[in-house]
C-alpha cells in the first residue's frame, strides 16, 4: 500500500506533466471530440503567411504590430477552414473512405513525374526540404482525397441543371453571351517635336502639312495606307503597318467614337490633332454587338449554373455538418475569430447555438 508521501509525489508528478502538456499543447477547440491545438494553429498561420510571401517566426515576433494585424486578418477564415476540414474528414471516415496502398503509390508516382524526380534519394531529399516524412505525406494526401470524395458524393454528385434553369440563367445574363461592338484601325502618326518652352509653332505647322500630304497620297495618290504607315508613321504601331485593335467601342474616347460611328470599312479620317501630334486613321473592320444563341451557349450556361448551385449546396452542406457537430471552444478569442469568419463567409449558424459549446 502506497504511503501518503508516495501518493502526494505521484500526484505532483502527474500535475506537472499535465501542466507541461497544457503549455505546449494548449487545446483551442474540440470538434466531435477531435482536438485542435495552439501548435496546430501556429503551423497553419505560418503556412498561410508564407503563401502570402511573408516569412514569419510567430514565437519571436509576438509583439510585432504588423504581425498581429496580419494574424487578425487571416485567422477568422483559417478557423472556419479548420473546422470545416475536420468535419468533412470525419464524415468521410464515417462513410469508410480511405486511400489504399495502390492509390497512394499512383499519386506519389505522379508527384515524382510532375516534379521530375527520378530517384528515391531525390524524393527523400524533397520530403526533407519540406520537413515532411513519407507518413506525413500519406496523411496529407489521404485527407485531401477523403475530403474530395465527400464533396463529390455528398454534394456535387447530387446537383443537376434543368433546361428551365439554363434558360432562366441565359435570359437573365444575356450580356454575358453578347460580344461588345469593336473596331480595328490603322494609323499614321506625324509627331510634333517639343522643347522646354512648349510646342514650336513652325514645327507644328510643318507636321500638320506633312500629315495632310500623307492623307492626300492614300486617298487620291494611289499609295497604300499600310505601306505608308510602315514607312513613315512615328507610332509604335508602325511595326504592324499601323494596325491597332480590335478595340472595344466602349473603351475609346467619345470624340473618336463619334468619328468611327460615321465611317465604313476602308474610310480614312481627316487629319486629327492629338496630344501625340497629327494622326490619320483608316477603318479596317467594324463589328456590331452579337448575342450567342441559347443552343450555342448551352454548355457554358450549364457550367455556370452548376458552379452557382454548387456554391449554394456546398454551403448548405457545411452548415448542416456544423449544426450537427459538438464544437467545444476552449479559447474565447479563437471562438470569436471563427464566428467572424462565418460572418465574412456568409455562412449560416444556428440561432440557438446548438452543437456549439463554450
Block residue for cell numbers 478595340:
247
**Torsion angle defined by CA atoms of residues 338, 341, 343 and 344, in that order, rounded to the nearest 10 degrees:** 170
Domain membership of residue 270 (yes or no) is yes
**What is the average per-residue pLDDT within 248-273?**
88
pLDDT, residue 9, reads: 39
Report whether pLDDT(261) > 70.
yes
The residue with greater pLDDT, 334 or 131, is 334
- The predicted-structure confidence for 21-46, as pLDDT tens digits, reads as follows 444 579 999 999 999 999 999 989 98
* Cell digits of residue 121: 534519394
| Least confident range of 28-37, 53-62, 81-90, 258-267 | 53-62
The answer to the question of residue 222 being in a domain is yes
CATH of the domain at 212: 3.10.50.40
Read off the pLDDT band of 349 (50, 70, 90).
low
Assess if residue 280 is contained within a domain: yes
Residue 294 lies in a domain: no
Per the structure, the count of domains in the chain is 1
Has residue 296 been placed in a domain?
no
Render pLDDT for 216-250 as a digit per residue (tens, 0 to 9).
Answer: 888 887 788 998 899 889 989 989 999 998 888 88
Domain, as residue range, for 260: 181-288
Q: Beta-strand (E) ranges in the chain?
A: 27-31, 34-37, 178-179, 182-191, 194-195, 198-199, 243-248, 272-274, 277-287, 290-291, 327-329, 356-357
Whether the full predicted model's pTM is greater than 0.85, yes or no, is no
**Residue 209, in any domain of the structure:** yes
**CB hemisphere CA count around 161 (13 angstroms):** 20
> Are the CB atoms for 184 and 284 separated by under 8 Å?
yes
Beta bridge partners of 186: 243, 282
Q: Is residue 73 part of a domain?
A: no
Q: For residue 62, what is the DSSP state? A: T
Q: Is the residue at 77 inside a domain?
A: no
Q: Please say whether the beta carbons of 267 and 282 come within 8 A.
A: yes
Band of pLDDT at residue 5, cut at 50, 70 and 90? very low
Amino acid at each position: 500500500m502506497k504511503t501518503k508521501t508516495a501518493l502526494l509525489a505521484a500526484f505532483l508528478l502527474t500535475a506537472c506533466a499535465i501542466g507541461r502538456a497544457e503549455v505546449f499543447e494548449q487545446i483551442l477547440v474540440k470538434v466531435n471530440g477531435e482536438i485542435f491545438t495552439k501548435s496546430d494553429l501556429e503551423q497553419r498561420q505560418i503556412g498561410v503567411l508564407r503563401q502570402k510571401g511573408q516569412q514569419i517566426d510567430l514565437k519571436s515576433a509576438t509583439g510585432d504590430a504588423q504581425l498581429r494585424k496580419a494574424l487578425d486578418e487571416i485567422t477568422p477564415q483559417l478557423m472556419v477552414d479548420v473546422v470545416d476540414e475536420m468535419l468533412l474528414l470525419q464524415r468521410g471516415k464515417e462513410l469508410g473512405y480511405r486511400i489504399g496502398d495502390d492509390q497512394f503509390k499512383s499519386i506519389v508516382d505522379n508527384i515524382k513525374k510532375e516534379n521530375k524526380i527520378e530517384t528515391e534519394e531525390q524524393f527523400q531529399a524533397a520530403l526533407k526540404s519540406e520537413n515532411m516524412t513519407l507518413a506525413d505525406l500519406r496523411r496529407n494526401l489521404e485527407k485531401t482525397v477523403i475530403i474530395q470524395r465527400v464533396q463529390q458524393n455528398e454534394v456535387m454528385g447530387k446537383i443537376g441543371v434543368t433546361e428551365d434553369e439554363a434558360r432562366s440563367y441565359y435570359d437573365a445574363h444575356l450580356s454575358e453571351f453578347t460580344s461588345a461592338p469593336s473596331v480595328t484601325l490603322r494609323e499614321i502618326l506625324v509627331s510634333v517635336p517639343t522643347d522646354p518652352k512648349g510646342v514650336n509653332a513652325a514645327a507644328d505647322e510643318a507636321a500638320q502639312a506633312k500629315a495632310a500630304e500623307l492623307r492626300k497620297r492614300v486617298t487620291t495618290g494611289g499609295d497604300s495606307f499600310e505601306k505608308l504607315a510602315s514607312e513613315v508613321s512615328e507610332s509604335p504601331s508602325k511595326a504592324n503597318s499601323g494596325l491597332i485593335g480590335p478595340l472595344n467601342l466602349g473603351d475609346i474616347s467619345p470624340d473618336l467614337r463619334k468619328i468611327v460611328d460615321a465611317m465604313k470599312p476602308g474610310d480614312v479620317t481627316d487629319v486629327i490633332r492629338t496630344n501625340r501630334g497629327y494622326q490619320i486613321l483608316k477603318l479596317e473592320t467594324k463589328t456590331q454587338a452579337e448575342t450567342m444563341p441559347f443552343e450555342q451557349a448551352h454548355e457554358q450556361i450549364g457550367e455556370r449554373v452548376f458552379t452557382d448551385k454548387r456554391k449554394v449546396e456546398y454551403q448548405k452542406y457545411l452548415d448542416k455538418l456544423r449544426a450537427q457537430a459538438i464544437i467545444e471552444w476552449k479559447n474565447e478569442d479563437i471562438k470569436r475569430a471563427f464566428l467572424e469568419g462565418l460572418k465574412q463567409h456568409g455562412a449560416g449558424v444556428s440561432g440557438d447555438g446548438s452543437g456549439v459549446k463554450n
